[in-house]
């Protein structure tokens, strides 16, 4: 389904080439100051064309708050946020009407629904993440007012860690009509202990689901993640001291509940599947055909995933904070 | 919360040293043949003491079906499964009443709830997974009747991949009063295309949440996972052919929806935090103290995670199959 | 929360004097033909000013479909429906900023949220029901395509059953600066047996919750409802025959599951609380004050409840049909 | 589904003639003192055979707390409550294996599931309510500790209001092999204002759903309910004064949110469908047959509905209190 969260519950709508994309926030705490200016900067950051490294679709993506605000404050009613789609050239996508792009959702949507909006990826497009970032901006503001910050950064692209090397990898991929993947690290500082539930509702389970729900993400790890699999317990345990812990291999979560340490997550982002290089695929009639995906495509979406991942972590945290508040 | 799934919804209960552990399955399809004999073998496999590599707590763990069956078949009513706890020696755990074990949920439970059943880990114990495995057995049977198999295997322990090396690593760790982690790979064969929903309810998002909801799991990857971050798109895309795909880097999921290929998942299991080696920690009064966790503890829980991970994947798949059935 | 339904899940937003009201439908079956023309007639029917008996706020209430449609058909993606608010004169409501209208949500919203959009009732206004009717139109179309019709009618107003008497009662109330209540009956014809779940999710439980969730509704009965309390079992049981039942006292639901007979519901609608007659109340400072609620208020909202109640029943039925489809 | 509530979430299991009935409470606040002695008296009150007016099945119905308690207090983990079934004589019900009892769930269960546990009503039996009463006992204790009481009473049986007349009506019905219905009124005193959510999650919507989810309930009204339909607004509005309201026609709920006044609900209970008098019905082969339902059946279940209705109201209230606590 298209909702996320139990208490600060968002419901997303919209396709790449429909009329609008947006989100409804249900459960936004009342009395919080909120204007479009709290949201717009994060949308601008997510927007393509704001970096040399990302694609060129040039939309303004102005958010409109449709409901839930009275005299500048949230009322407890649903906050609906809408961003009109502009600058759509559906004809760009005519080839994709019948061909399934390798590595893309085209084939599986067709199998699942028997119908598919092929224009710009439709519902599976990166543009869907605008709603997440808009709702995430509200969550981030709420967290910031309580001393909690959430920050993402590019850790690696195509195996490289330095910005100039990363930029070069992306440029080379672009020239070759190809794409590259990478790793994003997101950290939350200032979280109180006690967030998350044991068993199925572990904080890390929520986070893993949230992150893997971002398109192109193929792996998630908490704290030292996969590296812990090669360790002794005596190396990996975070021993305690008077005011906290001697290390943070656990990434701020023990037994599914936040410990008060920094929450540290890394996600693996696969290379963009839409590439100009010729690939073999099928069309909806079952024929084997060649495809070269033209148009405006990022050779690397890792930079654009950063604000989306921040938004998702913020949404998980606010949700768990409201859940935890029930018992205080 | 202690429920998992939307359609085949399980609710788990029980602590390590309470009277019983168990699970209610709500949404079990009617008309399915089901007896305790369908469930018991999987519980036996999960049970400690069934391998030289695991701990020695010797309980019979006999499942009792309390409801939902009439003349050997499911009726559509909730299937309640209960396993009595036996062989409990609560005194073993008296030291843990006041001390927080490093790497364990002790500290965070105390912070969250202000009260904690310290005996054998209480609700955070591995024993909680019995309910998952019992419910998973029902799911696995349902899947098997539809030609879908789910199989887990140990991929690595402490960096080693061969059984004899793995066994040696675990023995060495045990002798040293230490523990080791590892990696488990789970594969589902025979899944139809179309399972999972776009956006937040992606099949991989459900799987990641399910896996990270298992205690000690610190990382999840789908298909080639973190390795894809270092690739070109042209390497990573699975090109299509008449009857499927030329490769399966995606691990059977595209755009959050199953493609019909094998679903492949790997999870990172941290080394057991309960170790005999002396560590520094805090007690509930805030004192810094030393702790050596005695008693029956696995030096490596990777083998015992295997059936739990299989169960969780089966639970995700049956849930998505029932969800998908709505539109057919 | 502001969502309704499990499978055909709607999420509503908007206040009387905000920018827009609307709804997102999540879980709308794919491949269904849908245009604004399927929805607009039902909104027009709900709209004030369409009858001599209802209030005069004259808005066009044009629905815009923002997402979820591709080439005239639903895709399985969320269908977002928005109706702009126009013709708002917030100044009309300045007196209500500080005074709590008797019988209205003013006092309880203030208590719950500590903030309240007083303009035209804000979120508690009848205008909120536009989203329900819009989503209900989609549900009604789906049901109609499967041979199921849902029809509401005014059964009584202020104790009268004939249209001319009803009209007279409303006119008299209006002249007196007062209001009157009534009873609405809603019937669904053509429902298959098997809808609804036993225990908490009974079809009648869903219906009762849906109906009581409409503002001003104070009672719900299924079939013969309260009249059954004064009967013998031998009078009340619907005996069976070859092709159905000899009577329908049960209103089409047995044990919480539809029987295939007509589903019959009646709801009690209280008289509109906003009246011109002077009443005693409190203001937000705790003073006792007098209030006469001016402006455009219906002396009887019973006629306008009819399409809302139809919509809610349709939403329950489609939801239960999709739920039931899982097991077929 | 078989769960109820969002925050204090109960999941029920068990059939009349299975091994046990019971309930899991998920979300029970930690630190609450709880023993079987808090629950048993309410089960005893619900039990058949405790009054001359109810049926004779003589079971002890001893509750066992399986989990969630540590040293006499709740821990925040699920509280599982189980009551073994005893004294079952399945043979009593052999005639019902093939015949559908008029007014009963037999026909609709068969239609829905294609399989049916006919013994004593199976899942649709009154015995299912034991889980509700057990969980309700925990909720009632929580409410009582916060100064909130919930009390039900028989208002009418077969049109009579005085106890001696009621007793006579029931005796006459029993002698005639028939049954009678009635009305139960439930009142909650001491509820804080602010419980419930606007729109779909209104407190009265939750209550109506909860009450209509009890077997045999065919109508629900809040406050003056159906009587308000025949009133003027000026009669029906509860005017305000310094410390509250001048009347309580609304039954303690305004705009779906509790006002702090007493919450007053009435429910219509149909006459028990199981009667000795001969009725016409169908069997599973489609034949028209006669049926006389023998065995131990209450001629009037109104007295036994009282504790169930109290339990359901308590469950709604605790759930809404925990929900509301999120925003404080």
Q: Please state the separation of Cα B314 from the chain's center in Å.
A: 10
Note the ipTM here: 0.96
Q: B88 at the D interface (CB within 8 A)?
A: no
CB atoms near residue D33 (< 10 Å): 12
The four Cα atoms B113, B114, B117, B120 give a dihedral, to 10 degrees, of 80
Beta strands of B34-172 (E only): which ranges? 63-65, 69-70, 73-74, 79-84, 149-157
Chain B neighbors of D1, CB-CB under 8 A:
9, 26-27
C135 close to C312: Cβ distance less than 8 angstroms: no
Chain D neighbors of B113, CB-CB under 8 A:
30-31, 75-76
∠ CA C271-C277-C280, rounded to 5°: 95
Q: Among all chains, which residue has been given the structure tokens 């029930």?
A: A326
Beta strands of B199-282 (E only): which ranges? 217-222, 240-241, 244-245, 253-254, 257-258, 263-269, 279-282
D137 close to D159: Cβ distance less than 8 angstroms: no
pLDDT in tens, chain C (328 residues): 899 999 999 999 999 999 999 999 999 999 999 999 999 999 998 876 555 555 545 558 999 999 999 999 999 999 999 999 986 766 667 888 999 999 999 999 999 999 999 988 889 999 999 999 999 999 999 999 999 999 999 999 999 999 999 999 999 999 999 999 999 999 999 999 999 999 999 999 999 999 999 999 999 999 999 999 999 999 999 999 988 999 999 999 999 999 999 999 999 999 999 999 999 999 999 999 999 998 778 899 999 999 999 999 999 999 999 999 987 6
Q: Which of B106, B113, B239 sits opposite A102 (nearest CB)?
A: B239
- The predicted-structure confidence for A299-314, as pLDDT tens digits, reads as follows 999 999 999 999 999 9
Which site among A8, A69, A77, A124 would you substitute to test the C interface, given the most C Cβ atoms closer than 10 Å to its Cβ? A77
**Interior/surface letters B241-253, b for 16+ CB within 10 angstroms, e for the rest:** eeeebeebbbbbb
Q: Which two tokens stand for residue C228?
A: 């059954």
β partners of residue C124:
none
Nearest CA to B130 among B265, B3, B37, B20? B20
What pLDDT is stored for residue B320 in this prediction?
A: 98
Neighbors of chain D with 3 or more C-beta pairs under 8 Å: A, B, C
- The predicted-structure confidence for B201-255, as pLDDT tens digits, reads as follows 999 999 999 999 999 999 999 999 999 999 999 999 999 998 899 999 999 999 9
- Residue D95 — very low, low, confident or very high, per pLDDT cuts 50/70/90? confident
Q: Tally A–D CB contacts below 8 A.
A: 23
What pLDDT is stored for residue A52 in this prediction?
A: 54
3-state secondary structure of B284: coil
Beta carbons of A327 and D77 less than 8 Å apart: no
- The predicted-structure confidence for D283-311, as pLDDT tens digits, reads as follows 999 999 999 998 778 899 999 999 999 99
Q: Which two tokens stand for residue A176?
A: 């070759």
Chain B neighbors of D117, CB-CB under 8 A:
70, 75, 77
**Rounded Cα distance, A276 and A292, in Å:** 5
Beta carbons of B231 and A109 less than 8 Å apart: no
- The predicted-structure confidence for A43-87, as pLDDT tens digits, reads as follows 998 776 555 555 545 558 999 999 999 999 999 999 999 999 986
Neighbors of chain B with 3 or more C-beta pairs under 8 Å: A, C, D
CA distance B71 to chain A (A): 32
Beta carbons of C322 and B326 less than 8 Å apart: yes
Q: Which two tokens stand for residue A103?
A: 């590595």
Q: Quote the radius of gyration of chain C (alpha carbons, Å).
A: 21
3-state SS, chain D, equals: CCEECCCCEEEEECCCCCCEEEEEEECCCCCCECCHHHHHHHHHHHCCCCCCCCCCCCCCCCEEECCCEECCEECCCCEEEEEECCCCCHHHHHHHHCECCCCCCHHHHHHHHCCCCCHHHHHHCHHHHHHHHHHHHHHHHHHHCCCCEEEEEEEEECCECCHHHHHHHHHHHHHCCCCECEEEEEEEECCCCCCCCCHHHCHHHHHHHHHHCCCCEEEEEECCHHHHHHCEHHHHCCCEECCEECCCCCCCEECCEECCCCEEEEEEECCCCCCCCCEEEEECCCCEEEECCCCCCCCCCHHHHHHHHHHHHHHHHHHHHHHHHCCC
CA atoms within 13 A on the CB side of A209: 27
- Torsional class of D61: left (φ above 0), alpha (ψ -120 to 50), beta (otherwise): left
Nearest CA to D22 among B11, A159, A8, A105? B11
3-state secondary structure of B38: helix
Chain B neighbors of A255, CB-CB under 8 A:
104-106, 108-109, 124, 215
Rounded to the nearest integer, the mean pLDDT of chain D is: 94
What pLDDT is stored for residue B240 in this prediction?
A: 97
B302 close to B46: Cβ distance less than 8 angstroms: no
Beta carbons of B77 and D21 less than 8 Å apart: no
Q: B69 at the D interface (CB within 8 A)?
A: yes
Which site among C229, C231, C298 would you substitute to test the D interface, given the most D Cβ atoms closer than 10 Å to its Cβ? C229
- The predicted-structure confidence for D31-62, as pLDDT tens digits, reads as follows 999 999 999 999 998 876 555 555 545 558 99
Beta carbons of D77 and B2 less than 8 Å apart: yes
Give percent above pLDDT 90 in chain A.
Answer: 86
C34 close to C66: Cβ distance less than 8 angstroms: no
C4 close to D197: Cβ distance less than 8 angstroms: no
What pLDDT is stored for residue D54 in this prediction?
A: 53
Beta carbons of C20 and A67 less than 8 Å apart: yes
- Residue A219 — very low, low, confident or very high, per pLDDT cuts 50/70/90? very high
Residue A140 has pLDDT above 80, yes or no: yes
Give percent above pLDDT 90 in chain D.
Answer: 86
Q: Quote the radius of gyration of chain D (alpha carbons, Å).
A: 21
What pLDDT is stored for residue D167 in this prediction?
A: 97
């Amino acid at each position: 389904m298209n909702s996320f969260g139990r208490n600060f519950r968002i419901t997303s709508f919209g396709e790449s080439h429909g009329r609008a994309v947006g989100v409804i926030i249900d459960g936004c705490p009342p009395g919080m100051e909120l204007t479009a200016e709290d949201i717009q900067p994060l949308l601008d950051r997510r927007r393509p064309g704001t970096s040399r490294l990302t694609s060129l679709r040039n939309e303004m993506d102005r958010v409109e708050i449709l409901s839930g605000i009275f005299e500048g404050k949230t009322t407890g009613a649903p906050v609906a946020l809408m961003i009109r789609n502009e600058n759509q050239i559906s004809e760009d996508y005519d080839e994709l009407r019948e061909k399934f792009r390798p590595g893309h959702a085209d084939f599986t949507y067709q199998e699942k629904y028997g119908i598919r909006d092929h224009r710009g990826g439709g519902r599976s497009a990166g543009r869907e993440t605008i709603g997440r970032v808009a709702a995430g901006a509200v969550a981030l503001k709420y967290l910031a007012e309580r001393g909690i910050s959430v920050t993402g950064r590019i850790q690696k692209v195509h195996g490289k860690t330095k910005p100039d090397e990363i930029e070069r990898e992306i440029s080379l991929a672009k020239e070759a009509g190809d794409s590259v993947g990478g790793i994003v690290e997101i950290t939350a500082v200032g979280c109180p202990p006690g967030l998350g539930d044991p068993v199925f509702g572990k904080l890390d389970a929520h986070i893993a689901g949230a992150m893997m729900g971002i398109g192109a993400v193929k792996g998630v790890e908490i704290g030292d993640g996969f590296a812990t699999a090669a360790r002794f317990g005596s190396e990996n345990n975070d021993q305690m001291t008077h005011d906290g812990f001697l290390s943070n291999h656990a990434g701020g979560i023990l037994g599914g509940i936040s410990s008060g340490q920094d929450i540290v997550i890394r996600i693996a982002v696969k290379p963009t599947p839409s590439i100009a290089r010729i690939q073999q695929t099928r069309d909806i009639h079952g024929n084997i055909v060649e495809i070269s995906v033209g148009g405006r495509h990022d050779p690397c979406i890792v930079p654009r995933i950063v604000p989306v991942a921040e938004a998702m972590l913020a949404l998980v945290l606010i949700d768990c904070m409201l859940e935890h508040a029930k018992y205080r």
